[in-house]
A and B are shown apart, each in its own frame.
Chain A
Amino acid sequence: MTAQVETAPAARPAARSEISDRARAERRLGLLLSAPAVIVMLLVTGYPLLNAVYLSLFNYRLTAPQDREFVGLRNYITALSDGLFWQDVFTTFLITAITVAVELVLGFGLAMVMHRAVFARRTVRTAILLPYGIVTVISAFAWRYAFDLQSGFVNSWFGLGDFAWFSDRWAALFVICLSEVWKTTPFISLLLLAGLAQVPHDLSEAATVDGATAWQRLRRVIIPNMKAAILVAVLFRTLDAWRIFDNPFVMTRGQEQTATLSFLTYDQTITRTSIGMGNAVGVLLFLSVVLIAAVFIRGFRVDLSQVRGDR
């Protein structure tokens, strides 16, 4: 398996230079077979995307359609020069960086537990994956009520008196991150479990025979061999965390400076019914997601097909 993974990138350029008729026909068939799916994808994602870009060039309110006015890039300039935009970018960045880092460490530990579990394997795995099966909005409400001053139990458990968690920016962000970590660590550990399964057992065994400690085996054998899985897990989680919406929406409604970029888009489009401005922020959010994905895929050379195991 690893052998394949290592040789595949080297083999690819060679295959491209000497392409046979048969390979060409196969490729054409492949394109033909995937065409319907690509067309549907373009319809359901391409059209809304282009429409959003188009609408973002207008000063346009849902409640005053007759006052629609073309303003070019003014909405983008307004958004990018607004302190609130950068405040929300910072909040989003903070949530993303903290949750992904914590989840990676915890997720790795849980993946090891799932991988090594000797007895009650299925029970252990189910227990670990359970939070991921819960709808985010519901888990957000559960955490909110747990930390709530009136209905919550957290303050009485830890003797915090009447500390209002959601009335302070950092305390609120802490609860949001905690809920996020609890909810999505299983996702990372699932991807890492797949990576762990790919690490050849004989390599670890050889290392053990050579007298490597557990830490050395982890650093030199296991992690290098599952680098691809780690990067894909981090990429997926980063993109998800960057678009976080549910937890701040349910817990704080974006107050106490806990609004994220998605929340900012929601506020402009849905609450304010300012279609032009909302779409401009939405497009900026989309571009930031593209940027993150590009940095990972180009910069860290993440190959998505490796982890799906479809080579």
Chain B
Amino acid sequence: MSERAKDGRGDQGARARRGPGRRTRGGPARPRARGRARALRGAVAAALLAGGLAACGGDGGTPTLHWYINPDNGGQARLAEACTKAAGGRYRIVTSILPNDATQQREQLIRRLAAKDDQLDIMSLDPVFVAEAANAGFLRPFTADEARQFTQGVFPAAVESSTWKGRLYAAPFWANTQILWYRKSAAQKAGVDPNAPDFTWDKMIDAAVRAGVTVGVQGNKYEGYMVWINALVASAGGRIISAAERGNDASIDIDSPAGREAARIIGKLARSKAASPSLSTDMEEQARSLLNSDRGGFMVNWGYIWRAENDDAKSGVIDKNIPNDLGWAPYPRVRADQPGRPPFGGIELGIGAFGKYKDTHAVDAVRCITTPENMKKYMLDSGNPAARPEVFDDPEVRREFPMATMIRDSINAAAPRPNTPYYTDLSAAVQSRWHPPASVNPESTPRRSAEFVRAVLRDEALL
């Protein structure tokens, strides 16, 4: 059947190409074939014409802005729709979805920007990639006036991550942080209060071992592992690198007491009974299903957990009693006398340096997307926290997110990852020496990673 259909199509196509002027086959079928060929050519011409007209319409009509978004629950697309409506015909925003993980999103954007792609009007950027794109001249810097508007009443960490060499290159859109999620029953069994002011990683690991439960973290060799390492180093009062503006001569500080303290905690957890069996490949979702399992105890994870757990309980994917057993606490400390520095994440909106509307409609669109009202709308829609602290005082937000105050305080205390144009190299180099978590040794890992980072930044080693 399919064979015959294929033959028929091929025959027709061949006739159409051959055309009536160059008849090679005689016989009575000729006039019909000619008629069919003519009809086909007419259809093709009409299709081409229609396509041309449509293209003309696009050029002459409403300017189209392309917004490249990270995958979410559709919240960004709905915001794009709302802002298109609000623009009243001045522009319309079309969204395109980028790959799933942050590293791959960057890969696609950087390559297209390097080729001066003018279709990249607005981009949802992970904060760690702003410096690289800004330094390469791929992003349009905001003027001082615009910058004031986009940074006023915004979390300092979000502003810091969006700024490169004193200029704002991206508008903070939503901010993220990790807090400690735990099963109340497990904490009770272990006899600890994760909300106690001196709750440290050591206490948490010991408690989990005692109660036979797990501590979920992100230990896969990917950006999420770097998030954990950075938070531990920062919580211990150190940093991974500094003086990043010196490019590949930046000062590498990971081989320090803070770096060794971070390594000690990672090694201790990874080699303890509280570690996930698949720790070295665990990402956010694996950690979450670990928390939902029989051995679920503690987990550090982003703010989306609350929404995800409630949705899963409602749809019967997990036990419907789990959300009631779910507790939250500030990110654990490294030192009992020093507050923890939780991870910082989120999305900043960058404007491509090569877009047609970079100085006009694109700025307006970013302005529309990042208003406090739209940030609130997005937070309620997607569960991702707003980049402005004022949103967290909204009664509707407080009703939907019982831990809103804690998330706000956590973002305020958060330590951004290093702001450097070589971030990808830095992160991959650290991951390469600190992975798998069970191999981390405070005596050697920080020193080896410092040496390796230096070599990689100077292009003297493979990654």
The verdict on B149 contacting chain A, using a C-beta distance below 8 Å, is no
CA distance A236 to B103 in the complex (A): 34
Whether A64 pairs with B136 at a CB distance below 8 angstroms is yes
In the bound complex, residues from chain A placing their C-beta under 8 Å from that of B261 are none
Q: Known contacts A63-B110, A63-B136, A255-B435; decide if A272 and B280 are in contact (CB<8 Å).
A: no
Whether A150 pairs with B289 at a CB distance below 8 angstroms is yes
In the bound complex, residues from chain B placing their C-beta under 8 Å from that of A149 are 277-278, 286
Whether B280 pairs with A255 at a CB distance below 8 angstroms is yes
Q: Shortest Cβ distance from B77 into chain A, in angstroms?
A: 26
CA distance A264 to B289 in the complex (A): 32
The verdict on A85 contacting chain B, using a C-beta distance below 8 Å, is yes
Q: For chain A, which range describes its interface: under 10, 10 to 19, 20 to 34, or 35 or more residues? A: 20 to 34
Q: Shortest Cβ distance from B154 into chain A, in angstroms?
A: 26
Stretch at the interface among B178-186, B320-328, B455-463: B455-463
In the bound complex, residues from chain A placing their C-beta under 8 Å from that of B463 are 84, 267-268, 271-272
In the bound complex, residues from chain A placing their C-beta under 8 Å from that of B107 are 270-271
The verdict on B4 contacting chain A, using a C-beta distance below 8 Å, is no
CB < 8 Å neighbour of A256 from B110, B222, B280, B460 = B280
In the bound complex, residues from chain A placing their C-beta under 8 Å from that of B135 are 63-64
Q: Shortest Cβ distance from A253 into chain B, in angstroms?
A: 7
Tally of B interface residues using CB under 8 Å: 31
Residue interface mask B106-122, A partner, CB < 8 A = 1: 01001100100000000
In the bound complex, residues from chain A placing their C-beta under 8 Å from that of B281 are 164, 166-167, 252, 255
Q: Known contacts A271-B103, A271-B428; decide if A78 and B462 are in contact (CB<8 Å).
A: yes
Within 8 A of A (CB), among B418-432: 421, 424-425, 428
In the bound complex, residues from chain B placing their C-beta under 8 Å from that of A163 are 277
Whether A167 pairs with B279 at a CB distance below 8 angstroms is yes
Q: Shortest Cβ distance from B248 into chain A, in angstroms?
A: 10
Whether A253 pairs with B221 at a CB distance below 8 angstroms is yes
Q: Known contacts A166-B278, A167-B281; decide if A59 and B459 are in contact (CB<8 Å).
A: yes
The verdict on A273 contacting chain B, using a C-beta distance below 8 Å, is yes
Q: Known contacts A63-B136, A255-B220; decide if A167 and B462 are in contact (CB<8 Å).
A: no
Residue interface mask A249-287, B partner, CB < 8 A = 1: 000111110000000100110111110110001000000
CB < 8 Å neighbour of A264 from B110, B277, B462 = B462
Whether A62 pairs with B435 at a CB distance below 8 angstroms is no
Whether A167 pairs with B110 at a CB distance below 8 angstroms is no
Whether A277 pairs with B222 at a CB distance below 8 angstroms is no
The verdict on B63 contacting chain A, using a C-beta distance below 8 Å, is no
The verdict on B75 contacting chain A, using a C-beta distance below 8 Å, is no
In the bound complex, residues from chain A placing their C-beta under 8 Å from that of B280 are 164, 167, 255-256
Whether A82 pairs with B462 at a CB distance below 8 angstroms is yes
In the bound complex, residues from chain B placing their C-beta under 8 Å from that of A281 are 462
A274 to B, closest residue via Cβ: B459
The verdict on A162 contacting chain B, using a C-beta distance below 8 Å, is yes
CA distance A3 to B98 in the complex (A): 59
Whether A162 pairs with B278 at a CB distance below 8 angstroms is yes
The verdict on A223 contacting chain B, using a C-beta distance below 8 Å, is no
The verdict on A79 contacting chain B, using a C-beta distance below 8 Å, is yes
B115 to A, closest residue via Cβ: A62
Q: Shortest Cβ distance from B445 into chain A, in angstroms?
A: 16
CA distance A75 to B463 in the complex (A): 13
In the bound complex, residues from chain B placing their C-beta under 8 Å from that of A59 are 459
In the bound complex, residues from chain B placing their C-beta under 8 Å from that of A84 are 461-463
CA distance A136 to B461 in the complex (A): 31
Residue interface mask B127-150, A partner, CB < 8 A = 1: 000001101101000000000000
Within 8 A of B (CB), among A59-88: 59, 62-65, 75, 78-79, 82, 84-85
B460 to A, closest residue via Cβ: A78
Whether A63 pairs with B132 at a CB distance below 8 angstroms is yes
CA distance A64 to B457 in the complex (A): 13
The verdict on B436 contacting chain A, using a C-beta distance below 8 Å, is yes
Q: Shortest Cβ distance from B218 into chain A, in angstroms?
A: 13
CA distance A64 to B110 in the complex (A): 11
CA distance A272 to B114 in the complex (A): 13
Whether A272 pairs with B278 at a CB distance below 8 angstroms is no
CA distance A62 to B421 in the complex (A): 12
In the bound complex, residues from chain A placing their C-beta under 8 Å from that of B462 are 78-79, 82, 84-85, 264, 267-268, 277, 281
Whether B221 pairs with A255 at a CB distance below 8 angstroms is yes
CA distance A255 to B223 in the complex (A): 13
In the bound complex, residues from chain A placing their C-beta under 8 Å from that of B460 are 78
Whether B114 pairs with A63 at a CB distance below 8 angstroms is yes
CA distance A256 to B221 in the complex (A): 9
B132 to A, closest residue via Cβ: A63
B432 to A, closest residue via Cβ: A84
CA distance A84 to B428 in the complex (A): 14
For A62, A63, A163, A274, which residue has the most chain B Cβ atoms within 10 angstroms? A63
CA distance A65 to B111 in the complex (A): 12
Q: Shortest Cβ distance from B372 into chain A, in angstroms?
A: 34
Within 8 A of A (CB), among B201-247: 220-222
B222 to A, closest residue via Cβ: A253
In the bound complex, residues from chain A placing their C-beta under 8 Å from that of B111 are 62, 270, 273
For B111, B222, B278, which residue has the most chain A Cβ atoms within 10 angstroms? B278
B295 to A, closest residue via Cβ: A162
In the bound complex, residues from chain B placing their C-beta under 8 Å from that of A256 are 280, 436
Whether B114 pairs with A271 at a CB distance below 8 angstroms is no
Those 5 A-B pairs whose CB atoms lie nearest each other, nearest first: A164-B278, A255-B221, A162-B277, A63-B136, A167-B280
Besides the known contacts A78-B459, A162-B278, 16 further A-B residue pairs in the complex with CB atoms under 8 A apart? A59-B459, A62-B114, A63-B114, A63-B136, A78-B460, A78-B461, A82-B461, A82-B462, A150-B286, A162-B277, A164-B280, A255-B221, A264-B462, A268-B463, A271-B463, A273-B424
Q: Which residues in A have some Cβ–Cβ distance to B below 8 Å?
A: 59, 62-65, 75, 78-79, 82, 84-85, 149-150, 162-164, 166-167, 252-256, 264, 267-268, 270-274, 276-277, 281
Q: Which residues in B have some Cβ–Cβ distance to A below 8 Å?
A: 103, 107, 110-111, 114, 132-133, 135-136, 138, 220-222, 277-281, 286, 289, 421, 424-425, 428, 435-436, 459-463
- 10 A-B pairs with CB atoms under 8 Å apart are A62-B114, A79-B462, A253-B222, A255-B281, A271-B107, A272-B463, A273-B110, A273-B114, A277-B459, A277-B462
